[in-house]
Structure 1
Amino acid sequence: MNRVTQNLLILLLGGALLKISVFSADFANYVKPGFRPLLIAAGAMLVALAVAALVFDRRRSTNAARQRELLRARAAEEAHLAQMVARDPIALAPVHSREHEHEHAGGHRVAWLLLIPLVVIFLVAPPALGSFAVRQDEQSSHVPPPTIVEARPTVLKNGRVNVLSMLEFANLAWDDPSGSLRGKTIRLTGFVVPSGRDDAWHLTRMRIGCCAADALTMQVVVKGAPVPETDSWVRVTGTWIPRKTGRTGAYTPPEMTASRVEPIAAPDEPYE
């Protein structure tokens, strides 16, 4: 791989970052929305670096061509002078040495690894985590959801639809001595994962701290409504089903009875 190809790969990599962070919201499938300015800055820096390197290489190539022309002219002059004085011509040093090219050979091979993220972004374009990731996570034990320290106290009202995040609902359902969920109409948004039961399915949302690699699964068992298509996004309105007394310490997803299930488009920000 020559230097021009390396610089073009860097240019494409920077362009890919700008593509998913400036011209679309695809970056939210991989990291939290707050990372958008950093992705834009990184993409812009890679593009600027690649363009500068291409310009530099172009100028260096032009200078090298001029030096080769000058070297050929000097060689012709030396040959003519040597012929006039009946001596052997003096060999002139080449413009480039092969030792320099060999020094960077290993780096050129490694640079091909830049193709991997380009192929992923432009050809594969992985979606946000869905039911497959949830099934993999089900192999690990469930733990109670973390307390939302930074959130404002959740105030639920009667006679209206209370829109909650999955984590807020799970916190109230798991540890709320006042039982504020009881009898309240709530609305949750997530994607559909089958539960393996005929009378229920899972409304699911992934929560990330930094990126998709540290995603945690938040689920609510939905009853009273037919199961929608797997991985489809829905908005569910209904009421909480209080947990039965005599529960064990093991965490189980909270349950709700659905009065309305609305299909919706996948949100731009799929994670909580």
Structure 2
Amino acid sequence: MNRVVQSPLLLLLGGALLKISAFSADYANYVKPGFRPPLIVAGAVLVLLSVATMALDRRRSRGGARQTELLHARAIEETHLARLVGRQPAISSPVPSHEHEHEHEHAGGNRVAWLLAAPIAVIFLVAPPALGSFAVRQAEQNSHVPPPTLVEARPIVLKSGRVNVLSMIEFANLAWDDPSGSLQGKTVRLTGFVVPSGQDDAWYLTRMRIACCAADALTMQVMVKGMPAPDTDSWVRVTGTWIPRKAGRTGAYTPPEMTASRVERITPPDEPYE
């Protein structure tokens, strides 16, 4: 890939990074929020590198054009002198033939290299959304595993007579491994997107949890009962109470359950992952 293709591709890539990180919150569909500053810096560096490279190439091109003009003038002069003295011209062409061959060799490679711009163009035209129900269904073939234990988690104090706002993993941890049963009888509020459960009287409130980027996403789900299922992939805020696990269940992990008293449609959050 020569610089004729390399510089525009760097500019497109840098512009795409700046578009999703500096000028929108789309970057949060792919990585954790803490990656925003590095993405902005990387995008700015790529744009500056591309602009500097194109400026350098333009300067070299001007110098090359000037040199070609001088060679052409010398060739004309040499041809005229050769005719006067009756000999063959010492300079036959102002542009070496091997340069034409070099350009021909790269022509096909450049056309292929431009295909690399297609994925970058997609980001400008239609930025891929955050993971949703399709990704959840793809992962359903894997058995559920217990939620990871929270490290340095904030103390969770649930109060009666008020709505306790919890993250999905906080709710799952309390539902799965809380000997005190602090969720019992408490009203909680969870936020996520809707995934069908295959049951008429229940559906899944779902949130994806990532450690670094969308490629390592884990599915966190709560089965919601008592309210009709909203549209698949719609984002909702569910208020309700925990349904305690039935005695005698095996040690295999199953998503916790809750009875909903209220379901509110909301706009997708800027940070879709936990």
SS at match of 2:193: strand
Q: 1:234 to 1:215 in 2, by over 3 A?
A: same
Paired AA for residue 56 in structure 1: L
- Report what 2:181 is aligned to: 179
Paired AA for residue 157 in structure 2: V
Mapped contact 2:12–2:117 kept (Cα < 8 A): no
- Report what 2:230 is aligned to: 228
Q: Distance in 1 between matches of 2:105 and 2:139?
A: 46
The CA deviation at 1:94 is 4.7
Mapped contact 1:18–1:43 kept (Cα < 8 A): yes
Mapped contact 1:64–1:95 kept (Cα < 8 A): no
Q: Distance in 2 between matches of 1:104 and 1:46?
A: 23
SS at match of 1:153: coil
Q: Which residue of 135, 138, 141 maps to 1:136? A: 138
Paired AA for residue 199 in structure 1: D
Matches within 5 A, 1:55-204: 55-91=55-91, 94-95=94-95, 97-98=99-100, 100-101=102-103, 108=110, 111-204=113-206
The CA deviation at 1:267 is 0.2
Query: How many aligned residue pairs are there?
Result: 272
- Report what 1:205 is aligned to: 207
Mapped contact 1:219–1:253 kept (Cα < 8 A): yes
Q: Distance in 2 between matches of 1:83 and 1:102?
A: 34
Q: Once the two structures are aligned, what percentage of the paired residues are identical?
A: 79
The CA deviation at 1:122 is 2.2
Paired AA for residue 235 in structure 2: W
Mapped contact 1:6–1:108 kept (Cα < 8 A): no
Mapped contact 2:201–2:225 kept (Cα < 8 A): yes
SS at match of 1:229: coil
Unaligned 5+ segments in structure 1 are none
Paired AA for residue 13 in structure 2: L
Q: Distance in 1 between matches of 2:92 and 2:177?
A: 85
Q: Deviations over 1:172-203 (max 9, x none)?
A: 00000011111111100000111111111100
- Report what 2:31 is aligned to: 31
Paired AA for residue 265 in structure 1: T
Q: Deviations over 1:6-64 (max 9, x none)?
A: 32222112111111111110111111111111111111111111111111111111111
Unaligned 5+ segments in structure 2 are none
- Report what 1:8 is aligned to: 8
Q: 1:95 to 1:59 in 2, by over 3 A?
A: farther
Q: Deviations over 1:193-245 (max 9, x none)?
A: 11111111100000011111111000001111111111100000111110001
Q: Distance in 2 between matches of 1:126 and 1:14?
A: 17
Mapped contact 2:5–2:110 kept (Cα < 8 A): no
SS at match of 1:186: strand
Q: Distance in 2 between matches of 1:75 and 1:196?
A: 82
Q: Distance in 2 between matches of 1:147 and 1:99?
A: 64
